[in-house]
Amino acid sequence: MKNIKYIITIILFGSLALSCSLEEKSYTEIDMDEYIKNAAEANNVLMGIYGDLCDEGMYRYNLGMLLDIPTDLAKGEGSTTNAFRIVPANAYTSVQSDIELTWEALYKAVYDANSFIRLLALNVENFDDDDKALATVYMGEARALRALCYFELVRWFGNITLTTDPMYAYKNTLSEMEQDDPVKVYEQIEKDLLYAAEVLPYATDDNLRTSNDFRFSKGAALGLLAKVYATWAGYPVQDESKWEKAAETAKILIDSGKHALLTEGVDGDSGYEQLWWNTCNGVWDPTESLIEISFYSPTSTASGARLGRIGKWNGVLASNIKGIRNIAYYRVLPSFIKKWPNLTSDLRAQLSVANYRYLDETRTKYDLQSSANNKIAFDPNQFATAFTEGADSKLRDRYSKNLTPAKWDTEKYVKDANYMVDQNLSNVNWYVLRYADVLLLYAEALNEINNGPNATAYAAINMVRRRGFGVPINVTSNTADLASGMSYEEFRQAVRDERAYELAFEGHRRQDLIRWGIYYETVMQTAQDMENYLDGASAIYTAARYTQKGKHELLPIPQREMQLMPKYKQNPGW
C-alpha cells in the first residue's frame, strides 16, 4: 500500500474517518482547532468512534466470531481450508486479508479516538458549564474506546506500535516506525481505563447524557480493566502481580451494587435466556450488559454499514425462512458437549447449543437429519442421548458436523419487527463483556493470589452456576454449587470449565486458552477427543493439522506492514 495522504471531511452525524492502517497519514480539510465547538458536535463525532466497532474486521465478524473459532468449543463448517475455512483451520499466512482487515480496523479506531481526544482537549475551555460536564464524560468514553482497541491489538498481535498522538504519522517516516514493548501498551490501556472509571458515571446514575444506551459507563470501564489485568497476568507477558489488581478492580464493581446477573425474564424465561431475547432485539439492559455492540438499525437496508452477521453466520441452520437462510458456518464441537456435566439440569447447555434446524417460515424445529423433503420432528431428548456410551453412530456423525450455537437463534428470539430479510446480515447485537464474565474473573483472581479459593471466590462462581441451573443465586444449592474444599488446581480448572459453559461462543475462549498458556495443548487434546467421539474419524477437526505451539498464540503482523516498516519484527513462527 502506498503512503497516501487522505483528505477527509468530518461530517455531523457521521464518523471521524481517519487512516485505515498504521502507515497511512490523514488530515482534515477543516482547521482542527475550529471543530467540536460544543458538546453536540463532540457527541456526533464520538458516535463515529463507536461506529468503528461495527466494522467487518471488528465485532461484526472477525473479533466476535471468525478468529475465535479454533478452540475446544467450535470449528468451521466442513473439513477443508477452502474460502473462509482457512481461518478456523489456523492455516492462514501473514498475507491473509482477514488479518489485515482486523489490523486496519483497530488502528482506524485508535486514530479516530486519538483525534477526538486532541480536538476535545483543544476546545473544551470554550464550552459553557453544562457542555464542559458532558465533555468530561465524552473524554472518558473516548479513552475507554481507545483502551478497548489497544487491548484487542496487543492480545491478538502482541508486538504493535503505541501512539496517542493523532499527528504521529506526520512525525515519523515508515522506515522509523518501531514496535513497542507490550508492557508499555498495557500501561497505556490501564491509564486510559483508570481515567474512564474515574470520570464516567455508572449507567444507572447517568444524568448527563440524553441516552447512554450501548455506551461506556464506569461499570464497563472497571469490568474491562479487570479483564485487562487478568490477561496481563497471563501468557505471554505473565506479570502475575496483576492478579491482585484484577481482584481489586472486580471487587469495586461487584461491591458497587450497580450491576448484577439477570435472574428473571420478562415472560417467565430464565435470566440467562433473557440475555438473548435482549441482544437479538436491540434491548439495552445495563444490569448485566457492560459492553455491547449495537447493530440495531431497523431502518437500514440490507447493505447498511451498521448491520452485523450475528445470528446469520453463528446462528442456527435455517433455510426457506422468509425466502432466505441462515448460513450458520460456526459449528459446535460435540466433544465439548460430551464433557459438559449435568446436560439436562444445566439450563445453559440447551440454550447455548442447537441440535435442530429450521426448514420453513413456521419456525418449527426439525431434527438435524431433516431435509426440505423429509422433515423429521425435533426430539429434545436426543441431545443427552447422543453423548452417552454406545450412542448411535449415525447420530454422532450428524452431531459432529451440524451442531450450532443457539444463543442467537433468529427464528426463536428475533421479533418480526427486527427481522432483516438478508442471508448475511442482521440487527442482532454482540456482547463484548457481561457481568458474569467479571464474576468469574474475580473468582479466578482470588484463587491465584491466595493459592486456593476462599469463601468469596466460591460465592462469585456459584452465583453464576446457580443462575445457570435456574435456582436462586443467593441460596446454597446442592445441585449447582461447586464442591467445597477444592485445591488451587481443582478450583482453577473449575473456573476454566465454567468460563466455557457460561460464555460459550461469545468470543472469549481462544484468548482465555492463550492467557492460560494452554492453547496448543487444548487444540491437540480436542483432536483426540473428537477421534474418541467419532471412533477414529478425526479429519473433521482441521485446526489440529495446522496449529503450532509458539506460533498461533499471536496473529501474524500483516506482511504489508512488514514490508513498509523495515524495523518491524514478525511474530514468532510467522
For residues 479 and 394, membership in a common domain is answered with no
For residues 335 and 423, membership in a common domain is answered with yes
Cβ atoms of residues 189 and 271 within 8 Å: no
- CATH number for the domain including 523? 1.25.40.900
Residue 536 CA to residue 102 CA, distance in Å, equals 36
11-58 pLDDT, tens per residue? 222 332 222 334 333 333 344 456 799 999 999 999 999 999 999 999
Alpha-helical (H) ranges within 200-241 are 218-233
In three state form, how does the secondary structure of 450-518 look?
HCCCCHHHHHHHHHHHHHHHCCCCCCCCCCCCCCCCCCHHHHHHHHHHHHHHHCCCCCCHHHHHHHCCC
pLDDT of residue 506: 98
Place 6 in a pLDDT band, splitting at 50, 70 and 90.
very low
pLDDT of residue 302: 46
Place 170 in a pLDDT band, splitting at 50, 70 and 90.
low
For residues 231 and 161, membership in a common domain is answered with yes
Which residues, in sequence order, are bridge partners of residue 74? 70, 332
For residues 419 and 447, membership in a common domain is answered with no
For residues 446 and 539, membership in a common domain is answered with yes
Mean pLDDT is lowest, of 15-29, 151-165, 212-226, 417-431, for 15-29
Closest CA to 201 of 288, 142, 134: 134
Residue 200 CA to residue 217 CA, distance in Å, equals 5
Comparison of pLDDT for 381 and 470, the residue scoring more: 470
Q: Which three cell numbers stand for residue 153?
A: 491489538
pLDDT of residue 47: 94
For residues 112 and 231, membership in a common domain is answered with yes
Radius of gyration in angstroms for the set of CA atoms belonging to the chain, rounded to a whole number:
23
Place 9 in a pLDDT band, splitting at 50, 70 and 90.
very low
Helix (H) or strand (E) holding 412: helix 410-413
Residue 20 CA to residue 274 CA, distance in Å, equals 37
46-90 pLDDT, tens per residue? 999 999 999 999 999 999 899 999 999 999 998 899 999 999 999
Which residues neighbour 208 within 8 Å (Cβ) at sequence distance 6 or greater? 133, 134, 137, 201
Handedness of CA 264, 268, 272, 278 (dihedral sign): negative
For residues 212 and 338, membership in a common domain is answered with no
Closest CA to 282 of 307, 302, 262: 307
pLDDT of residue 18: 27
Residue 179: how many CB atoms within 10 A of its CB?
A: 19
Alpha carbon separation from 199 to 102, 206, 312 (Å, rounded): 30, 11, 38
Residue 153: how many CB atoms within 10 A of its CB?
A: 25
- CATH number for the domain including 221? 1.25.40.890
Cβ atoms of residues 519 and 70 within 8 Å: no
pLDDT of residue 283: 94
Question: Where among 367, 402, 428 does a domain terminate?
Answer: 428
Q: Which three cell numbers stand for residue 543?
A: 485446526
For residues 456 and 390, membership in a common domain is answered with no
Residue 490 CA to residue 496 CA, distance in Å, equals 10
Q: Which three cell numbers stand for residue 74?
A: 467450535
* 448 pLDDT above the threshold of 60: yes
Comparison of pLDDT for 334 and 17, the residue scoring more: 334
Residue 382 CA to residue 376 CA, distance in Å, equals 13
Which residues, in sequence order, are bridge partners of residue 367? 356
At 518, give phi and psi (nearest 5°): -130, 25
Residue 570 lies in a domain: no
Residue 308 lies in a domain: no
Domain hosting residue 112, numbered range: 5-71+93-246+557-564
Residue 573 CA to residue 520 CA, distance in Å, equals 13
Question: What residue has cell string 444490569?
Answer: 287
For residues 230 and 103, membership in a common domain is answered with yes
Handedness of CA 162, 165, 169, 171 (dihedral sign): negative
Residue 299 lies in a domain: no
For residues 381 and 444, membership in a common domain is answered with no
Place 129 in a pLDDT band, splitting at 50, 70 and 90.
very high
Helix (H) or strand (E) holding 84: none
Place 395 in a pLDDT band, splitting at 50, 70 and 90.
confident
Give the whole-number percent of the chain exceeding pLDDT 70.
91
Average pLDDT over the chain reads 90
473-496 pLDDT, tens per residue? 999 999 999 999 999 999 999 999
302-313 pLDDT, tens per residue? 445 578 999 999
Cβ atoms of residues 230 and 246 within 8 Å: yes
Alpha-helical (H) ranges within 124-201 are 129-157, 168-171, 182-199
How many domains is the chain built from? 3
The model's pTM: 0.93
548-570 pLDDT, tens per residue? 999 999 999 999 999 999 999 99
pLDDT of residue 298: 56
Interval 517-541 mean pLDDT: 88
β-strands 330-332, 74-76 pairing: antiparallel
* 261 pLDDT above the threshold of 90: yes
3-state secondary structure of 165: coil
Residue 203 CA to residue 256 CA, distance in Å, equals 12
Question: What residue has cell string 477437526?
Answer: 541
Residue 419 lies in a domain: yes
Interval 343-352 mean pLDDT: 94
First to last CA, the chain: 21
3-state secondary structure of 299: coil
* 105 pLDDT above the threshold of 90: yes
For residues 407 and 496, membership in a common domain is answered with no
Residue 454 lies in a domain: yes
Give the whole-number percent of the chain exceeding pLDDT 90.
75
Which residues, in sequence order, are bridge partners of residue 356? 367
At 277, give phi and psi (nearest 5°): -60, -45
Which residues, in sequence order, are bridge partners of residue 434? 289
DSSP symbol at 201: P
DSSP string, 359-413: -STT--EEETT-BTTB--B--TTHHHHTTSTT--HHHHHHHHHH-EE-TT-HHHH
Cβ atoms of residues 396 and 335 within 8 Å: no
pLDDT of residue 424: 82
Residue 176 CA to residue 451 CA, distance in Å, equals 45
Place 380 in a pLDDT band, splitting at 50, 70 and 90.
confident
